[in-house]
Structure 1
Amino acid sequence: MDEKTIIDDSGNDVTIDTTLNKKNVGDSANDLLSSQEYKDLSFELFYVEGYKPTTTTLDNFETFLAERLNKAGEIKVALKPIESPGKSIYSIADIKEIEDEIRTFYNDVGKIAVFGLFIDGEYSENTENGSVLGVAYRNTSFVIFEETIQEFSGQPLAPSTSVLETTVINHEFGHLLGLVNAGTTPQSDHQDVEHGRHCTTEDCLMYWTAETGEGLLNSISGGTVPSLDEQCINDLKVNGGK
């Protein structure tokens, strides 16, 4: 059992079991979508100073959550600044180490918790043809490579920072919800097997290009954030969402 001591709201030291938040991506899809086990949902979103997501992005994300999740209780989002970890390149192992140090929200009775990190630097697995903008890497954890997003949004004719941020955070949370065929069972044949856990519909939020800067610049038309297609929505509905 992985344990961590945190300070609760009353200032007391509390030792908690963190294993429920260290499972594979998609393992908590039903827990996130439905109220069967957890009626409340809390997001703890950290950002490196200078790489704070826009207010528009956060508003868009909360709208996305309200549209897709069947939570009987509250959905809360807490935004917290941190100093730069001091790296220019991050592996997922690096991101997990940072999370394990700074995360304070974990699953509790009736409440599921999600960790997000908007980081400076770039992903260690970037290639000449693909700059990754976000990764979902645990059942309740994702990272957004915010510095890379800002670099792409600053290019001529590129979508705004808010459009890119919203697309990437919604896409990565879609993976936590089990899309596509990653904890939420497909109700039709729409998994892009060649690109892993993505949708075959090109204008769907879960199309594979939504994770790379180059792909998004080519796929986003008119500065509009992609939506989930009907096939992905149907998958979520059957697994407890809406």
Structure 2
Amino acid sequence: MKHSILKVVLACSILFSCSSEPELEPEVINEETGNPINTSSNRQETGSSSNDLLSASTFNKMVVEVGYIEGFKPTEKAMTNFKAFIENRAFKPEGVSFVENQVPASGKTSYTLEEVVAIEKENRTVYNTSSTIGVWILFIDGKSSRDTNQGSILGSAYWNTSFVIYEETIRGLSGGAFQPSRSLLESSVIHHEFGHILGLTNLGTNLQNDHEDPEHPKHCDEKNCLMYWAAETSQGIGSLLAGGETPVLDANCLADLKANGGR
């Protein structure tokens, strides 16, 4: 991977190290009722809520909380695309809605996963209720601490309803000459990371056919699929974003989601 949109791996991070909750966590209090909120159901292993997100068996509605560091709000087009992506894949009879949450800047330029988690714990307000499933997405004003001189991480799914987008990195790789538009790159990374919390690939949503990439586990082996671990060459990422369109799920990934209660 290189520090260029033509050679950076697309949204290539799934974190499993934060799937368990520490024994003593401070309570999150509902400001309107004053009652504590049960956060445990939103702090589980990535992919474990795939059926809950896809089907209407337990949750009839989805609320996505869009957290963003001041000055790093995503484009409206990317959010419109994201809502359409959810509605095309999930059954939510009472709808999908978005709420915004501006998060204070920390002054950091690089974030560890633990720091990303701490921001969620401090600022997230939307959690599961009896009929609504809550999703948290954070757009952060810095890079991942796991970036190297070989490449940058654009997004990471780390809990069952949580993922982070490294918005500053995305802005540095988009909008310029020979680069994709910011909304296109944002959409591609957002959809990819949401795909992981939907259980793709073989991450809580069972495979209907063998299409997991053996060299890049939990990713699809079809190079044109949204869930492909984009190649480390210009041909790889270029093919995913060719034509100025957000990559889509291939037939195998779609079959997996449908078998797990999705559209």
TM-score, L = length of structure 1: 0.94
Sequence identity (%): 45
Aligned to 2:4: none
User: What is the number of equivalent residue pairs in this alignment?
Assistant: 240
Paired residue for 1:197, among 218, 236, 249? 218
**CA displacement, residues 106-132 of structure 1 (integer Å, 9 cap, x when unaligned):** 111011101110001100111222211
* Contact 2:157/2:197 (8 A) holds in 1: yes
Question: Is 2:105 the partner of 1:93?
Answer: no
* Contact 1:132/1:212 (8 A) holds in 2: no
Question: Is 2:29 the partner of 1:6?
Answer: yes
Aligned to 2:81: 60
CA separation of 1:202 and 1:49: change in aligned 2, threshold 3 A: same
Look up the equivalent residue of 2:147 and give its one-letter code.
Answer: N
Paired residue for 1:115, among 115, 125, 136? 136
Look up the equivalent residue of 1:84 and give its one-letter code.
Answer: A
Aligned to 1:170: 191
* Contact 1:168/1:210 (8 A) holds in 2: no
CA separation of 1:212 and 1:206: change in aligned 2, threshold 3 A: farther
In structure 1, list runs of 5 or more residues that go unmatched.
Answer: none
- Over aligned residues, Cα RMSD in angstroms? 2.0
CA separation of 1:213 and 1:168: change in aligned 2, threshold 3 A: farther
Aligned to 2:161: 140
* Contact 2:223/2:236 (8 A) holds in 1: no
**Higher helix fraction (1 or 2):** 1
Distance (Å, rounded) in 2 between the aligned partners of 1:211 and 1:68? 29
Question: Is 2:178 the partner of 1:149?
Answer: no
Point out which structure has higher relative CO (alpha carbons under 8 A, 6+ apart): 2
Distance (Å, rounded) in 2 between the aligned partners of 1:69 and 1:211? 31
**CA displacement, residues 104-161 of structure 1 (integer Å, 9 cap, x when unaligned):** 1111101110111000110011122221110000000000000000000044211100
CA separation of 1:7 and 1:86: change in aligned 2, threshold 3 A: same
CA separation of 1:218 and 1:228: change in aligned 2, threshold 3 A: closer
* SS of residue in 1 equivalent to 2:73: coil
Structure 1 window deviating more from structure 2 (72-81 vs 172-181): it is 72-81
Aligned to 1:72: 93
The structural deviation recorded for 1:216 is 3.8
Question: Is 2:96 the partner of 1:81?
Answer: no
Question: Is 2:123 the partner of 1:102?
Answer: yes
The structural deviation recorded for 1:223 is 1.4
**CA displacement, residues 32-60 of structure 1 (integer Å, 9 cap, x when unaligned):** 00010111111111111111111110110
Look up the equivalent residue of 1:65 and give its one-letter code.
Answer: I
Distance (Å, rounded) in 1 between the aligned partners of 2:71 and 2:237? 23
* Contact 1:43/1:76 (8 A) holds in 2: yes
The structural deviation recorded for 1:193 is 2.4
Distance (Å, rounded) in 2 between the aligned partners of 1:229 and 1:117? 27
Look up the equivalent residue of 1:6 and give its one-letter code.
Answer: I
Distance (Å, rounded) in 2 between the aligned partners of 1:152 and 1:96? 25
* SS of residue in 1 equivalent to 2:53: helix
CA separation of 1:161 and 1:136: change in aligned 2, threshold 3 A: same
* SS of residue in 2 equivalent to 1:195: coil
